Amino acid sequence: MNNDMRSYLESTARERVERLFDAGSFVEFLPPSSRVISPHLGQLDAPVAFDDGVVVGRATLGGQNVFAAAQEGGFMGGAVGEVHGAKLVGLLRRAAAEKIPAVVLLLETGGVRLHEANAGLIAVSEVMRAVLDARAAGVAVVTLAGGSNGVFGGMGIVARCTNAIVMSEEGRLAMSGPEVIETASGVEEFDSRDRALVWRTTGGKHRYLLGDCQAIVADSVVQFRAAAIEAIAACRSRSTALGLAELEQEHAMLGERIVRFGAMSDPLEIWAALGIEEPATIPMLDAAQFVAAASAHRMGGC
Amino acid sequence: MDWQTLADALFPRGHSLSEIDHFLSGIAQSGEQTIAVVGTTGHAPIGVEIALAQARFVLQTVREHAGKHPRPPILMLVDTAGQRLRHRDEMLGINSYMAHLGKCVELARREGHKVIALVYDQALSGGFITSGLMADACYALPDATIRVMGLPAMARITKVPEQRLVELATSNPVFAPGPENYLRMGGVQDIWRGDLAAQLEQALATTPAGDVRSRLGQERGGRNFTQRVIEAIMAGSDVLAP
Amino acid sequence: METLTYRFDNGTRALPPQPRVIGVVGSGNLEVLIESAPQDGACTIDIKTAAVGFGATWQAVMQDFHERWQLMDASIAINDMGATPAVVSLRLDQAVETMLGAPT
Amino acid sequence: MSAGSKVWNTLQSNRDSRLARARSVLGAALDGKAVPSARIGDLLHNVLECGDRVCLEGNNQKQADFLGKALAGLDPARINELHMLQSVLALPEHLDVFERGIASKLDFSFSGPQAGRVAKLVASGQLHIGAIHTYLELFSRYFIDLPPRVCLVAAEAADRHGNLYTGPNTEDTPPIVEATAFKNGIVIVQVNRIMDVLPRVDIPGDWVDFVVCSPEPYYIEPLFTRDPALISEIQVLMAMMAIKGIYAEYGVQRLNHGIGFDTAAIELLLPTYAESLGLRGKIARHWALNPHPALIPAIEAGFVESIHSFGSELGMEEYIRARPDVFAVGPDGSMRSNRALCQAAGHYACDMFIGSTLQIDLQGNSSTATVGRIAGFGGAPNMGADARGRRHASPAWLKAGRQAREGRNTIPRGQKLVVQIVETFREHMQPAFVDRLDAWELGEQAGFEIPPVMIYGDDVTHILTEEGIANLLLCRSDEEREQAIRGVAGYTPVGMARDKRMVENLRDRGIIQRAEDIGVDKRLATRDLLAARNMKDLVRASGGLYAPPRRFRNW
Tell me, yes or no, if A85 comes closer than 8 A to chain B by beta carbon: yes
Torsion of CA D384, D390, D395, D397, to 10 degrees: 30
Quote the domain boundaries for residue A220: 3-173+213-241
Chain D residues with CB-CB distance to C54 below 8 A: 429
Amino acid code (one letter) for A33: S
Is the CB of A194 less than 8 angstroms away from the CB of D550? yes
pLDDT at A205 over 90: yes
For residues B192 and B139, the answer to whether their CB atoms sit within 8 Å is yes
DSSP per-residue string spanning A36-70: ---TTTGGGT----TTTTEEEEEEEETTEEEEEEE
- Please name the residue of chain B whose CA is at the shortest distance from the CA of residue A190: B87
pLDDT at D7 over 60: yes
Is the CB of A196 less than 8 angstroms away from the CB of D527? no
Domain extents for chain C?
2-100
Chain A residues with CB-CB distance to C2 below 8 A: none
Residue D535: closest CA among D222, D307, D303: D222
What is the C-alpha to C-alpha distance for residues D395 and D251, in angstroms, rounded to an integer?
7
Its ipTM equals: 0.91
- Among partner residues D533, D539, D552, which is closest to A284 by beta-carbon distance? D539
- Report which DSSP code applies to D245: I
pLDDT at B160 over 80: yes
Q: How far is A205 from chain D (nearest CA, A)?
A: 9
For residue C3, CA distances in Å to B159, B168, B193, C90 come to: 20, 22, 47, 21
What is the reported pTM? 0.93
Helices marked H in chain A:
13-20, 82-98, 117-136, 154-159, 178-185, 195-202, 204-210, 221-236, 244-261, 267-273, 287-294
The B residues from 191 to 220 touching A (CB cutoff 8 Å) are: 211, 213-214, 217
For the stretch D171-218, pLDDT in tens is 999 999 999 999 999 999 999 999 999 999 999 999 999 999 999 999
What is the phi/psi pair of residue A276, to 5°?
A: -70, 125
DSSP per-residue string spanning chain B: --HHHHHHHH-TT-B--EEETTEEEEEEEETTEEEEEEEE-TTEEE-HHHHHHHHHHHHHHHHHTTT-SSPPPEEEEEEEEEE---HHHHHHTHHHHHHHHHHHHHHHHHTT--EEEEEEEEEEHHHHHTTGGGSSEEEE-TT-EEESS-HHHHHHHH---HHHHHHHHHH-TTSS-SHHHHHHHTSSSEE--S-HHHHHHHHHHTPPSS--HHHHHHHTTS-SSHHHHHHHHHHT-SS---
Rounded to 5 degrees, what angle do the CA atoms A86, A217, A284 make? 125
Give me Rg for the CA atoms of chain A.
19
Is the CB of D496 less than 8 angstroms away from the CB of C90? no
- The pLDDT confidence band at residue D369, using thresholds 50, 70 and 90, is confident
For residue D116, CA distances in Å to B178, B219, D95, D119, D370 come to: 43, 55, 11, 5, 10
For the stretch C43-86, pLDDT in tens is 999 999 999 999 999 999 999 999 999 999 999 999 999 999 99
Is A19 a domain residue? yes
Identify the helix (H) or strand (E) that includes residue A102.
Answer: strand A102-106
- pLDDT for position C104: 52
Sheet holding A102-106, edge to edge: A27-29, A54-61, A64-71, A102-106, A140-145, A164-168, A215-217
How crowded is residue A101: how many other Cβ atoms within 10 Å of its Cβ? 18
Tell me, yes or no, if D234 comes closer than 8 A to chain C by beta carbon: yes
pLDDT at D325 over 50: yes
Q: Are strands D53-56 and D82-88 parallel, antiparallel or unpaired?
A: parallel
- The pLDDT confidence band at residue A62, using thresholds 50, 70 and 90, is very high
What is the C-alpha to C-alpha distance for residues D422 and D366, in angstroms, rounded to an integer?
11
Q: Which residues of C touch D (CB under 8 A)?
A: 28, 51, 54, 56-57, 60-61, 82, 84-87, 90, 97, 102
What is the C-alpha to C-alpha distance for residues D430 and D508, in angstroms, rounded to an integer?
30
CATH of the domain spanning D26-220: 3.40.1080.10
- pLDDT for position D1: 52
Q: Which residues of C touch A (CB under 8 A)?
A: 1, 19, 21, 24-26, 29, 31, 33, 35, 48, 50, 77, 79-81
Which class for D230: exposed (0-12), middle (13-18), buried (19 or more C-beta within 10 A)?
A: exposed
Domains D26-220 and D351-513 share a fold: yes
Look up the CATH architecture of domain D351-513: 3-Layer(aba) Sandwich (3.40)
pLDDT at A76 over 90: yes
Q: Which residues have a Cβ under 8 Å from the Cβ of D177 and sit 6 or more positions away?
A: D151, D153, D187, D203, D207, D208
Residue range B204-223: mean pLDDT, rounded: 96
Amino acid code (one letter) for A110: G
How crowded is residue D164: how many other Cβ atoms within 10 Å of its Cβ? 30
For residue A4, CA distances in Å to A9, A147, A168, A222, D228 come to: 14, 17, 15, 6, 20
- pLDDT for position D377: 86
- Cα D522 versus chain centre, distance: 32
Q: What is the mean pLDDT of chain D?
A: 96
Is the CB of A203 less than 8 angstroms away from the CB of D554? yes
Which residues share a beta bridge with B77? B39, B118
For residues C48 and A48, the answer to whether their CB atoms sit within 8 Å is yes
For the stretch D326-337, pLDDT in tens is 999 999 999 999
Chain C residues with CB-CB distance to D493 below 8 A: 56
Q: Which residues have a Cβ under 8 Å from the Cβ of C64 and sit 6 or more positions away?
A: C89
Q: What is the mean pLDDT of chain A?
A: 95
Domain B3-141+192-207 belongs in CATH node 3.50.50.60: no
For residues D58 and D68, the answer to whether their CB atoms sit within 8 Å is yes
Domain extents for chain D?
26-220, 222-242+250-350+521-544, 351-513
Higher per-residue confidence, B1 vs D317: D317
Q: What is the mean pLDDT of chain B?
A: 95
Which of C84, C88, C91 would you mutate first to test chain D, the one with the most D CBs within 10 A?
A: C84
For residues D170 and D334, the answer to whether their CB atoms sit within 8 Å is no
Secondary structure of D307-350 in the HEC alphabet? EECCCCCCCCHHHHHCCCCCECECCCCCECCCHHHHHHHHHHCC
How crowded is residue C101: how many other Cβ atoms within 10 Å of its Cβ? 8
What is the C-alpha to C-alpha distance for residues D378 and A158, in angstroms, rounded to an integer?
51
- Cα A36 versus chain centre, distance: 24
- Among partner residues C82, C86, C102, which is closest to D490 by beta-carbon distance? C86
Residue range A233-248: mean pLDDT, rounded: 96
What is the C-alpha to C-alpha distance for residues A201 and A213, in angstroms, rounded to an integer?
14
Which chains are adjacent to chain A, needing at least 3 Cβ pairs under 8 Å?
A: B, C, D
What is the C-alpha to C-alpha distance for residues D338 and D345, in angstroms, rounded to an integer?
10
Tell me, yes or no, if A118 comes closer than 8 A to chain B by beta carbon: yes
- pLDDT for position D501: 97
Please give the biggest Cα pair distance in chain A. 55
For residues A13 and A31, the answer to whether their CB atoms sit within 8 Å is no
- pLDDT for position D446: 85
Chain D residues with CB-CB distance to A283 below 8 A: 553, 555
Higher per-residue confidence, A246 vs D409: A246
For the stretch B65-115, pLDDT in tens is 998 888 999 999 999 999 999 999 999 999 999 999 999 999 999 999 999
For residues A34 and A105, the answer to whether their CB atoms sit within 8 Å is no
For residues A180 and B153, the answer to whether their CB atoms sit within 8 Å is no
pLDDT at A301 over 50: no
pLDDT at D397 over 60: yes
How crowded is residue D329: how many other Cβ atoms within 10 Å of its Cβ? 17
- pLDDT for position C103: 61
Q: Which residues have a Cβ under 8 Å from the Cβ of B159 and sit 6 or more positions away?
A: none
Domain extents for chain B?
3-141+192-207
What is the phi/psi pair of residue D165, to 5°?
A: -110, 115
- Among partner residues A10, A170, A193, which is closest to D554 by beta-carbon distance? A170
pLDDT at C13 over 80: yes
- pLDDT for position B132: 94
Residue A68: closest CA among A39, A95, A35, A40: A95
Residue D261: closest CA among D287, D288, D236, D290: D236
- pLDDT for position A302: 40
CATH of the domain spanning C2-100: 3.30.230
Is the CB of D555 less than 8 angstroms away from the CB of A205? yes
- Among partner residues A31, A35, A47, which is closest to C50 by beta-carbon distance? A47
CB pairs under 8 A between A and C: 46
For residues D180 and D23, the answer to whether their CB atoms sit within 8 Å is no
- Report which DSSP code applies to D256: E
- Among partner residues D429, D493, D523, which is closest to C82 by beta-carbon distance? D429
What is the C-alpha to C-alpha distance for residues B121 and B42, in angstroms, rounded to an integer?
9
Which chains are adjacent to chain D, needing at least 3 Cβ pairs under 8 Å?
A: A, C
Q: Are strands D512-513 and D468-471 parallel, antiparallel or unpaired?
A: antiparallel
For residues B38 and B54, the answer to whether their CB atoms sit within 8 Å is yes
Tell me, yes or no, if D539 comes closer than 8 A to chain A by beta carbon: yes
Chain D residues with CB-CB distance to A208 below 8 A: none
What is the C-alpha to C-alpha distance for residues D285 and D281, in angstroms, rounded to an integer?
7
How crowded is residue C80: how many other Cβ atoms within 10 Å of its Cβ? 26
Please give the biggest Cα pair distance in chain C. 36
- pLDDT for position A113: 95
- pLDDT for position D371: 84
- pLDDT for position A3: 52
How many domains does one find in chain A? Answer: 1
Which residues share a beta bridge with D134? D378
Amino acid code (one letter) for D233: E
Amino acid code (one letter) for D272: T
pLDDT at A1 over 90: no
State whether the Cα torsion B180-B181-B185-B186 is positive or negative: negative
- pLDDT for position B142: 96
